């Protein structure tokens, strides 16, 4: 938009609790700061989930924004992994049967996953869409997504090296 309309400056805002993920990015402001300064902006567009398409993916498609990333996978053969089972709606958490199938899958690869631990200690992060999985991707960790929502396409475009495994249970 800034290229199409010179003079326009676009800011993005996110929830305050997620600002740490974007701390080094330019023109990102917290939701509270946006509310405090809403009169300083000519137009504010909020993004909502319609439970059909991922809201960020829909916005990017509507705005003709292409995802470009300079992230690269850094580990070839992970020696440790963590399984993230929890998420925020509308993504569904993993069921007990799904968790068992994933643990079996990882065991066949010689890995014994920790469950819901901090991601920094692990080479491979496995889980449903959640903040920690996206944070792991931003840190170029090996990733396995277990899709239980509708953000698989966005995830795939952001982290092309990630493995995606559908687990029925």
The pLDDT-based confidence of 83 (bands split at 50, 70, 90) is very high
Segment holding 144, helix H or strand E:
strand 142-145
pLDDT tens column, 134-158: 899 888 889 999 998 888 888 888 8
Render pLDDT for 40-68 as a digit per residue (tens, 0 to 9).
988 888 887 777 777 877 877 777 777 76
Cβ-in-10-Å burial (0-12, 13-18, 19+) of 35 comes to exposed
Answer for the pair 84, 132: CB distance below 8 angstroms, yes or no: yes
Give a yes or no: residue 1 inside a domain: no
Same domain, yes or no: 86 and 139:
yes
153 plus 97 within the same structural domain: yes
Shared domain for 27 and 94, answered yes or no, is: no
Distance between CA atoms of residues 100 and 169, nearest Å: 10
Host domain of residue 45? 12-62
Q: Does any domain span residue 7? A: no
User: How many other β-carbons are positioned within 10 Å of the β-carbon of residue 53?
Assistant: 15
pLDDT of residue 84: 96
Please give the tally of structural domains in the chain.
2
| 101, part of any domain | yes
Residue 6 located in a structural domain: no
Residues 160, 122: one domain? yes
The reply to whether 119 and 160 lie within a common domain is yes
Pairwise CA distance, residues 156 & 144, whole Å: 10
């Amino acid at each position: 938009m800034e290229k199409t309309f010179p003079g326009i400056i676009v800011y993005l805002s996110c929830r305050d609790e997620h600002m740490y993920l974007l701390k080094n990015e330019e023109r990102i402001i917290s939701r509270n700061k946006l509310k405090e300064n809403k009169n300083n902006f000519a137009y504010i567009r909020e993004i909502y989930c319609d439970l059909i398409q991922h809201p960020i993916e829909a916005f990017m498609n509507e705005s003709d924004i292409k995802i470009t990333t300079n992230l690269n996978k850094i580990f070839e053969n992970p020696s440790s992994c963590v399984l993230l089972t929890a998420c925020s709606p509308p993504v569904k958490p993993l069921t007990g049967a799904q968790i068992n199938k994933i643990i079996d899958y990882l065991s066949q690869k010689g890995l014994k996953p920790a469950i819901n631990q901090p991601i920094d200690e692990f080479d491979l992060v496995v889980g449903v869409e959640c903040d920690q999985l996206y944070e792991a991707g931003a840190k170029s960790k090996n990733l396995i997504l277990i899709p239980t929502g509708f953000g698989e396409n966005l995830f795939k475009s952001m982290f092309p090296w990630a493995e995606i495994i559908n687990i029925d249970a």
